[in-house]
Amino acid sequence: MPELPEVETTVRGLRPILVGRVLTAVEARRPDLRRSFPVDLRQRLTGARVIALSRRAKYGIIQTDRGDAMVFHLGMSGRWRVDPPEIGTHDHLILETDAGDRLALNDARRFGSVDLIASDMLDSWPTFAALGPEPFGPDLTGAYLARTFDGRVAPIKAMLLDQRIVAGLGNIYVCEALNIARIAPRRRAGQIAHTRLDALVDAIRTVLLAAIEAGGSTLRDYARPDGQLGYFATQWRVYGREGEACPCGKGTVIRVVDSGRSTFCCPSCQR
């Protein structure tokens, strides 16, 4: 599933193509993805000028001068294609601009979504209102995590994957951040010292920034809007590296499965 770095990379790739441009055509080529397209999507977006693109958690936000915001989620396999040579079976939403560009939202598995929300209601939209702080925002601190984890016996990895606690984190980058911070993924969240949580916040930001710089991690169908593949997978410390040496130089990466999800870690340095 595209995580925060992949969505941020997508938004940055779309921004120079869409911001300031008028949407001259909007076509939903099927009735739904994970859920139905807004029935008035074409009516409300056609002729509107895009004034901003941004990201919240794993969602991209396209705002227009009509006070509407199209919020998209890439699901398991979604990506935007810019000026595709032809429209394919899995190109489910088409946007055209007054500059002549064509963008196609491609989603083979159809686990993505598109919503249309009034821009001034974004913060109170239930999906966003339930989210925790952004990893790069001032509200994510070691003190915040300490308060949130106080008395909790759930594993630290599970807590970090909870979007109500921290927005946008997914399996790959949580595994990587925990390795950098040298915290065992199964350690009880409420037992981790405040100073180690400070280090964990730094590690989260370090790995996300590096991933964004690399254009994200290409898994299965993900690619940037320009068609290039994200290459952060070449920098993974532990994810997908079962049996290899940990960068700490002391241990070997292992893989364990919790609730059907793979966790990669080093038992020698992560405690």
Active site residues: 2-3, 58, 261
Closest Cα to residue 78, out of 2, 11, 13?
2
DSSP tag of 35? S
Whole-angstrom Cα distance, residue 106 to residue 52? 22
Element (H, E) at 92: strand 91-97
The full 3-state SS of the chain, as one line of letters, equals: CCCHHHHHHHHHHHHHHHCCCEEEEEEECCCECCCECCCCHHHHHCCCEEEEEEEECCEEEEEECCCEEEEEECCCCCEEEECCCCCCCCEEEEEEECCCCEEEEECCCCCCEEEEEEHHHCCCCHHHHCCCCCCCCCCCCHHHHHHHHCCCCCEHHHHHHCCCCCCCCCHHHHHHHHHHHCCCCCCEHHHCCHHHHHHHHHHHHHHHHHHHHCCCECCCCCCCCCCCCCEHHHHCCCCCCCCCECCCCCCECEEEEECCEEEEECCCCCC
